[in-house]
Amino acid sequence: MLSDRESLFRHEALFHSGEGEFLAGALPFVREAVEGDVPVLIAVGESKLRLLEAHLGHGAHGIRRADIRQVARNPARIIPLWGEFVADHSVAGRPVRGIAEPVWPGRSEAELVECRHTELLLNVAFADAPSWRLLCCYDADALDPEVLEAAQRTHPVIAEDGINRQSDAYLPPPEAPGPFDAPLPEPSPVPDELAFSASDLGKVRGLAYRQAMNAELEAARTSSLVLAVNELATNSVRHAGGRGTLRVWREPDALVCEVRDHGHFDSPLVGRERPEPLLLEGRGLWLVNQVCDLVQIRSSANGTVVRVRMDLG
């Protein structure tokens, strides 16, 4: 019998150098699941996915797959990915397993910050979930030491050199920094700024649209950005005192929009949990996370900032 039933959510980090160490850590994890008829989802980059499939052979039949670099370009989509998998396949106490690659070379500094938040929030989101194990892969050769240090703080268990050990650096959610705490850097270009109220939502959409056109953002992505900014501004009007401020600026590789208001979020998982079908509230930030390449939320008693990014090119 597999050991998954011994506890609830088991969040592990696999530190590996090269393909050999990756396979040494990931293959037994998957094979044990296959042999025990345990559902498993592999959500890694395409090269790692092909590597695992080649070594699993016929054992790869029936395994669920996802290219994490497309599914979770925005790290806020990682928790819903696993939430839906666990909900669909964990039946009557049946354990499930997953392999993830949340951080890969080329992630921007802003994305790395949000990846750390996501890894922390996985421990919150699945604290009371059915029993399952998630193995998060970190390439020690390709990632900065700071990334590996952060992973030790967000994973209770570290798998390295074929040995599983408790992470001495792990911070359980009550002790870890909150996902809304890290300050956002000020933009280097001077942003276009618009203070708005309920009567100005058309101007809000117009500013986002003009900036997207000037940046030559693709038509479909322009529509997505305008939709996201409209949702954020509408939330400010409805739930944060009736007004807010939109700032828009262009970075070398992205168009960034930011909405500030005097509201406050209490739930650390806001925007990361799929809304109930019959509920009309709580859909705005969920939608924003689905259409934008990166979403950063900072909220305190002084107000809330939501910054969204659409990559160019």
Q: Are 199 and 152 in the same domain?
A: no
Within-domain flag for 174 = no
C-alpha torsion 159→163→166→170, nearest 10: -30
User: Which uninterrupted H or E stretch holds 287?
Assistant: helix 284-291
Q: Are 104 and 235 in the same domain?
A: no
Within-domain flag for 246 = yes
Within-domain flag for 68 = yes
Do the beta carbons of residue 115 and residue 81 sit within 8 Å?
no
Domains identified in the chain, total number: 2
DSSP class of 275: P
What's the pLDDT at 118? 97
Q: Are 8 and 156 in the same domain?
A: yes
Within-domain flag for 97 = yes
DSSP class of 188: S
Do the beta carbons of residue 233 and residue 172 sit within 8 Å?
no
**Burial of 190: CB neighbours in 10 Å, binned 0-12, 13-18, 19+:** exposed
Within-domain flag for 150 = yes
Question: Which residues fall within 8 angstroms of residue 98, CB to CB, at 6 or more apart?
Answer: 40, 41, 42, 43, 82, 85, 132, 133, 134, 135
| Percent composition of the chain: helix, strand, coil (DSSP 3-state, to 5) | 40, 25, 35
Q: Which residues pair with 296 in a beta bridge?
A: 307
Q: Are 114 and 211 in the same domain?
A: no
Task: Determine the straight-line distance between the first and last CA of the chain, rounded to whole angstroms.
Answer: 50
Q: What is the CATH number of the domain that holds 11?
A: 3.40.50.300
Domain boundary among 150, 166, 182: 166
Range of the domain at 26: 3-166
Within-domain flag for 187 = no
Q: What is the CATH number of the domain that holds 290?
A: 3.30.565.10
Q: Are 133 and 218 in the same domain?
A: no
Instruction: Quickly list DSSP for 64-113.
Output: EEEEHHHHTSSGGGHHHHHHHHHHHH--TT--EEEEE----TT--HHHHH
Q: Are 150 and 12 in the same domain?
A: yes
Q: Are 18 and 133 in the same domain?
A: yes
Within-domain flag for 173 = no
Q: Are 213 and 283 in the same domain?
A: yes
The percent of residues in the chain predicted with pLDDT above 70, rounded, is 95
Backbone angles phi, psi at 173, to 5 degrees: -50, -40
What's the pLDDT at 275? 86
CA distance 105 to 147: 11
Q: Are 201 and 132 in the same domain?
A: no
Handedness of CA 124, 174, 73, 8 (dihedral sign): negative
Average pLDDT, the chain: 92
What's the pLDDT at 279? 61
Q: Are 151 and 283 in the same domain?
A: no
Residues of the chain with pLDDT under 50: 1-7
What's the pLDDT at 206? 98
What's the pLDDT at 60? 74
CA distance 61 to 50: 13
User: At CA 294, angle to CA 264 and CA 119, rounded to 5?
Assistant: 75
What's the pLDDT at 177? 85
CA distance 39 to 37: 6
How many Cβ atoms sit within 10 Å of the Cβ of residue 187? 15
CA distance 125 to 80: 10
CA distance 265 to 242: 16
Task: Fill in the amino acid letter for 78.
Answer: I
Domain boundary among 166, 200, 223: 166
Within-domain flag for 185 = no
Q: Are 130 and 214 in the same domain?
A: no
Q: Are 41 and 79 in the same domain?
A: yes
